[in-house]
Amino acid sequence: MNITQDSNTCLPGIKPVLEILQTHPEKIDLVMVRSQGETAEIHAVQKLCDKAGIRVQRVRAAILDKLCLRKGSSKGIQHQGIVARLVSQAFVSMETLLSAVQEAPLPLIVALDQVQDPGNIGTLARSEQLRKILGDRARKHIAATYDWKHIIQKWITLVEELREIPFSEQEERTYRTAKHPAMLNIAKIFGHHPSKNISEEDLLKQVICLSRRGKNVLGKKDVSVCWPNLTTYTKDVDIRKILVFARKKCTVAEIKERLASDGIEDERFQFIILWMIKHDLLEYSV
């Protein structure tokens, strides 16, 4: 292990390290502790580091000796088996950071969170080859894990596994009579419909309003799982505009009049209104 540090960024000694941990832990980047010789003071340092989220590294005594050498002298400062590496740069405001990066040779800001080993980040920063390898592997991992084909296959596998699970007759009856969340109550929706085809004249006289589901769709609280497929039949008409008009009771003729500028043909308009009633977005009102 080869460590080269400016002595100004290192704080040796148990008492100095304990003091800065208690008063300004944000100034410490790393605490290096001698790998042999555990003491009560070093144990206290370890607890404070854990509390502040500061990494503690066990190293050989020779490394600590090298860090604490005085410039131009073969003798070093007594470190008592512990040395704290201080943050070389102070915290700055976001405005200062953004201003400084514009003048940098490489105007790039890298945001890191919960980095376990800063040394690895430094290695990646210095090696273009390693960055390329990491990028390739990350892309393959994302493609293999989050690709839609992979996700769909996982769900298919899950369904196949569930189909193999045995269940009782009572459970089978319960499952077979359970309603699918996208299933519409057709009898309820069309229970008050005439048994014959409704004429355009009769439809225009009908008073309609938003259904409960229509209100939820308008408020973006309810989107049917089959909605993307259903809306292909109405993509030439602004469905949300009709929902807005139907917030208050009105006749179909009044909605048609409001949509006059959209240039919808009569037959097409009739289809859209009936389609919205069928799919429980609109309902007849007394």
Q: Per residue in 37-63, pLDDT tens? A: 778 888 888 889 988 889 898 888 888
Rounded distance, CA 14 to CA 39, Å?
Answer: 10
Domain shared by 247 and 191, yes or no = yes
Instruction: Return the pLDDT at 4.
Output: 40
Q: What does the pLDDT look like over 112-166, one tens digit per residue? A: 777 766 667 778 877 889 889 988 998 888 888 888 888 888 888 888 887 787 8
Beta strands in the chain (DSSP E): 10-12, 28-34, 55-59, 82-86, 207-210, 250-251, 282-284
Same domain? For 249 and 224 the reply is yes
The boundaries of the domain holding residue 212 are 186-284
**Spatial CB neighbours of 124, under 8 Å, sequence gap ≥ 6:** 130, 131, 134
- The verdict on 234 and 274 lying in the same domain is yes
Q: In this structure, are 42 and 74 located in the same domain?
A: yes
Residue 84 sits in the same domain as residue 104? no
The pLDDT tens digits for 63-114 are 888 888 766 556 667 788 889 988 766 677 888 888 888 887 778 888 877 7
Q: Is residue 253 part of a domain?
A: yes
Number of domains in the chain: 3
pLDDT at 253: 92
Whether residues 122 and 209 fall in one domain: no
* Residue 60: CATH number of its domain: 3.30.1330.30
Q: Is residue 175 part of a domain?
A: no
- Same structural domain, 207 and 256: yes
Specify the pTM: 0.33
Contact 190, 197 (CB under 8 A): no
